[in-house]
Structure 1
Amino acid sequence: MAPHRLIRRKPRSPGTTREVRVQDPAASMALIFDAMKRPIDPLYEDVARKREATGEGLVRRPGRSPLLVVTVIALGFLLGAAAHALRVPDSVQADRHAQLVEQVEAKQKANDDSAAEVEALRTELDSNRSSALTRQERSNLSADLTAGERTAGAAAVSGPGLTVVIENPEDAEPDAADSDPRTGEDENALASSDLQHVINGLWSSGATAVSVNGQRITSLSAVRFAGSAILVNYRPLATPYTVTAIGPSDMQNKFESGFSGDYLTSLRKSDFTISTSRGNVTVPAQGTIRIAHAQPVR
């Protein structure tokens, strides 16, 4: 297609002519028309004709190679076999869980036996110490030592006191006994912070000795959570939680009329079962006492 054309116009004066070259408007579309008619580059088209003439045909795509298909299937089979081999069967997992439970129970029994042996030795030590104290010149030394043991939690204490029993609601998760209701994990289980409020309320009401489920609370004790259990003196506790305190006769009134009483009321509204009773109670001694400071008595 010619990009230009000639147009003859009439002369302005007699005897002269003028040629004007006018550009064809369709000339700019020539490249587009050529690409539509011949989409394949001429060089590629020549190569394709030569391949067809020699019988080579078109080159196969790599994705259609039978070797590649077989390789992919083999790799998938190997990965599946490896995953199946690494997966622990349910029966084996159950056996391992049972073995771990047995080991934990055996260690717990060994600890209990050791604690009983320690208690027997402590009783023998107390007897020998009492006989030795009677030979001392200071008559009040035995009384001071007994008072110090009670304060430090090294000796059991009996007397009038208060017992607070807290039970989780019936719909509480058994494996989330220590989840904090204020964090939204489980609104129906007692938290370690709840137990701390009760213990601190008893101390502020005049208690002289406190224990939780048989664990003596001293200045070195900690009430915390680990996983799904509340720990006191590093021993896991289970519901119901029995808090025992020895104190003056007005301890119950101070406890129930203060902040702790309001806190227990809020727990009752959350379907916790809480009961309080007053009478003669016994607060046991702490199992292990670590002496940080000592001085000889002469």
Structure 2
Amino acid sequence: MEYTSGGSSWTAALRRLGRAMLPRRRPKRTFGWSVLTPVVLAVAGMLFSLSAATAQGTDLRDDRRPELTNLIAERKQEIASSRERAARLRAEIDAQQQRQAGTDGQVDSQRRRGDAEQAAAGLTAVHGPGLVVSLDDAPRRADGTRPTGATPDDLVVHQQDVQAVVNALWAGGAEAMTLMGVRVIATSAVRCVGNTLLLDGQVYSPPFVVAAIGDQARLQRALNASEGVRLFSEAAETFGLGYEVRMEADVQAKAYDGSTALRAAQAGS
């Protein structure tokens, strides 16, 4: 290349030299984004399609609580119907036994023997003076706070609390007892699920009421002597749980009308 002595030639040469000394810029890499963008759009489209297919025209965020409430109500109705049917069948069996007892001396003898044990088994209604014990959860505070030092477990009635009252009343010579109006017999079991009581297939919410027929002073002494009852009573004073004992002149204890079948037993030593 031939350079001339003109000013324009020197200017062009210097411009080329300056461009050569400057760092070269790397070309922009657009390949990654060009591939990633369609992939993201495809995945989003698949998610929308799956949601639409799953919903089938319904709201996926629809509240299922009404369905659960209806299901619980249906199950309660089924249990009530089953109990009524069982009561009718037991009445039919009793009627047939009575008819048979009139013509068979051996059947009559065994029936009279069974009738004599019904009261002790809790199969007859009784009434008399006694005590009524009520246990309840601590009420919720308006501001949502808890008493100082209390945990959520400290503010509810537990299975062992109800069991302590039941055991204390039996130890105090209770002649008959009911829990939530249900007659307590030898095969009755106190079970709590969360803060609800499960008894004879029925679920009860607090307050839990235990009623016992017997000598009132003796029953009260038995409650006072129970370690479990004492601990609950102290928690009631500290955290505001409900604990009430009242004497009644006429406590009603209806006959047990559930199943008396014994599923399991173990001989004592």
TM-score, scaled relative to structure 1: 0.60
Go from structure 1 to structure 2 and tell me whether the alpha carbon gap of 1:126 and 1:266 turns closer, same or farther (over 3 Å shift). Answer: farther
Go from structure 1 to structure 2 and tell me whether the alpha carbon gap of 1:66 and 1:162 turns closer, same or farther (over 3 Å shift). Answer: closer
- Counterpart residue number, 1:104: 72
The 5 A counterparts of 1:185-196 are: 185-196=152-163
Confirm or deny: 8 A CA contact 2:169 2:223 kept in the other structure.
no
Pair 1:148 & 2:123 matched: no
Alpha-carbon offset, residue 229 of structure 1: 2.4
CA distance in 2, matches of 1:275, 1:115: 32
Larger radius of gyration: 1
Confirm or deny: 8 A CA contact 2:173 2:219 kept in the other structure.
no
Confirm or deny: 8 A CA contact 1:214 1:284 kept in the other structure.
no
Alpha-carbon offset, residue 60 of structure 1: 6.1
More displaced, 263-272 or 200-209? 263-272
Pair 1:198 & 2:169 matched: no
Name the aligned partner's letter for residue 90 of structure 2. Answer: R
1:210-262 CA deviation, whole Å, 9 max, x = no partner? 22113333333322233452212342111221112233454423333311652
The 5 A counterparts of 1:74-113 are: 74-75=41-42, 77-78=44-45, 81=48, 85=52, 93-94=62-63, 96-113=64-81
Pair 1:289 & 2:260 matched: yes
- Number of residue pairs matched? 228
Alpha-carbon offset, residue 287 of structure 1: 1.3
Pair 1:243 & 2:210 matched: yes
Alpha-carbon offset, residue 116 of structure 1: 2.2
The 5 A counterparts of 1:20-169 are: 61=29, 64-75=31-42, 77-78=44-45, 81=48, 85=52, 93-94=62-63, 96-130=64-98, 132-133=100-101, 136=105, 141-142=110-111, 144-153=113-122, 155-160=123-128, 161-169=130-138
- Counterpart residue number, 1:257: 224
Confirm or deny: 8 A CA contact 1:207 1:251 kept in the other structure.
no
- Counterpart residue number, 1:175: none
TM-score, scaled relative to structure 2: 0.66
Percent identity reads 18
CA distance in 2, matches of 1:77, 1:137: 82
Match of 1:219, SS state, is coil
- Counterpart residue number, 1:12: none
Structure 2 unaligned regions, length at least 5:
1-19, 142-149, 265-269
Root mean square deviation, CA, Å:
4.0
1:120-146 CA deviation, whole Å, 9 max, x = no partner? 333343344345446636987555313
CA distance in 2, matches of 1:112, 1:217: 19
Instruction: Point out which structure has higher relative CO (alpha carbons under 8 A, 6+ apart).
Output: 2
- Counterpart residue number, 1:209: 176
